[in-house]
């Protein structure tokens, strides 16, 4: 991916997260990792939870970070 498209993707993801359209937002991911660091859940449980959120994103009318900017 060239630098221009990479910058476009970053901006698109940032804008979608600001609008609350991203199920697996960076904020959500950081909260998950905070729970791991506190010992509330294991890394495997966090990974499983993230996969579940990503899988159910479309059902809930949201998108994932990866699908915000799709190559044309």
**16 occurs within a structural domain:** yes
Count of structural domains, the chain: 1
Average pLDDT of the chain is 92
Distance of alpha carbon 44 from alpha carbon 20, whole angstroms = 26
**11 occurs within a structural domain:** yes
**67 occurs within a structural domain:** no
Which structural domain, as residue segments, surrounds residue 13? 3-56
| Interval 5-52: pLDDT, tens | 889 999 999 999 999 999 999 999 999 999 999 999 999 999 999 999
**40 occurs within a structural domain:** yes
Please report how the helices 26-38 and 43-56 are oriented relative to each other, as an axis angle in degrees rounded to 10: 160
**63 occurs within a structural domain:** no
**8 occurs within a structural domain:** yes
Distance of alpha carbon 10 from alpha carbon 14, whole angstroms = 6
């Amino acid at each position: 991916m060239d630098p221009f498209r990479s910058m476009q993707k970053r901006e698109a993801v940032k804008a979608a997260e600001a609008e609350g359209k991203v199920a697996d937002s960076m904020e959500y991911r950081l909260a998950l990792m905070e729970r791991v660091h506190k010992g509330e859940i294991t890394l495997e449980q966090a990974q499983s939870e993230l996969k579940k959120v990503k899988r159910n994103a479309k059902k809930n009318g949201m998108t994932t970070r990866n699908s915000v900017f799709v190559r044309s």
